Structure 1
Amino acid sequence: MGQVERAALETITPYKVEVVQGNFVSKDQIDQLRAGMSRQQVREILGTPLLTDVFHAQRWDYVFTIERQPLAPQRRRMTVFFDDDRFTRLEGDAMPSEQEFVAGLSKPRRNPRQVPLQASEEQLLAAQRDPTEAPPSTRTAPDPAPTRYPPLEP
């Protein structure tokens, strides 16, 4: 396999679907939580939980996963606990701020190529010329536009 074929195979990659599951909870949202808040107040801040377990009615689980190529999959989990339908505490992973999360999603570019964006006057003129047309010195003046046009309908 030649160097050109190898470079082409490294450049062309199959499309891979970005998979997002759950709802992202940021550090800013967590900072808004206060002990004693109702379930409705917690839902307004964090959104609807991904899991509400019938066997554990006093807890909500927020799970978030994202798989984006070529980055490593991100998984975050947080559990909110209630006592008598009032928020008491939370446990789980450290959550990033929205800015940190967005910065972590950026894809690193492989082999960025710098293309020179400068052309000489001769190159610009050559690019504008039709290759089938005669050089500028042998061109004749175009015929003037007709002053009368034929009727559109017979």
Structure 2
Amino acid sequence: MKLASRVFLAVVLVSSLTACSSFRFPGVYKVGIQQGHIITQEMVEQLKLGMSKRQVRFVLGNTLLPDTFNDDRWDYPYSVRRGSQGEITQYLYTVYFENDKLVKTEGDYLPGKAPLTGEKSEKYLDDMNRDVPVPTEDSTPPEVPDPEELE
């Protein structure tokens, strides 16, 4: 009985150590956490003063933080944390409107193209379509049995 209680105590002690933030298992991969909109230089270059809100929404996407009191300012936050304990890097891009027309932009954006553009996106799409059968004009859908026949 003493041996069983010691084994139980050892198991409880080891499991409680895994909950401590200072204890880390070696070789465990920590995923970078991204939140928000990625605004790239390519997107910013497409913006022109005088664009309508609809055109800006098409280029940048919907804002995640709509301001209910001021619809003439749209904020696009983006943050990245490297691993679970890493430093947080934050970006904020803001666009301003007057009379539903773009008048000013400011803030941080990532240089270059979006992460999945060019060759990377083409390779991704090729990989996605590799195992998916493409329907043709002469292909007919499978016949669905009548529910009465199944009884």
Indicate the TM-score class for this superposition, using the shorter chain for normalisation. 0.5 to 0.7
CA deviations 1:27-77 (Å, max 9, x no partner) are 110011011111110011111112110122110000011112386433110
Does 1:84 find its partner at 2:99?
yes
Q: Residue 67 of structure 1 aligns with which residue? A: 81
Q: Are the counterparts in 1 of residues 39 and 109 from structure 2 also a CA contact under 8 Å? A: no
Gaps (5+ residues) in structure 1? 1-9, 103-154
Does 1:96 find its partner at 2:126?
no
Does 1:45 find its partner at 2:59?
yes
Q: Are the counterparts in 1 of residues 38 and 109 from structure 2 also a CA contact under 8 Å? A: no
Q: Residue 25 of structure 1 aligns with which residue? A: 39
Does 1:55 find its partner at 2:69?
yes
Gaps (5+ residues) in structure 2? 1-23, 117-151
Q: CA deviation at 1:95?
A: 3.4
How many residue pairs end up in the alignment?
93
How many Å separate the matches in 1 of 2:30 and 2:71? 38
How many Å separate the matches in 1 of 2:86 and 2:74? 29
How many Å separate the matches in 2 of 1:96 and 1:44? 20
Q: Residue 121 of structure 1 aligns with which residue? A: none
How many Å separate the matches in 2 of 1:56 and 1:16? 39
More helix by share: 2
Q: Are the counterparts in 1 of residues 41 and 111 from structure 2 also a CA contact under 8 Å? A: yes
Gap change, CA 1:17 and 1:95, over 3 Å in 2 = closer
How many Å separate the matches in 2 of 1:13 and 1:76? 30
Runs of 4+ in 1 over 6 A off after TM superposition: none
Q: CA deviation at 1:89?
A: 0.8
**Structure having greater relative contact order (Cα 8 Å, sep ≥ 6):** 2
| 3-state DSSP of counterpart to 1:98 | coil
Q: Residue 122 of structure 2 aligns with which residue? A: none
Q: Percent identity?
A: 35
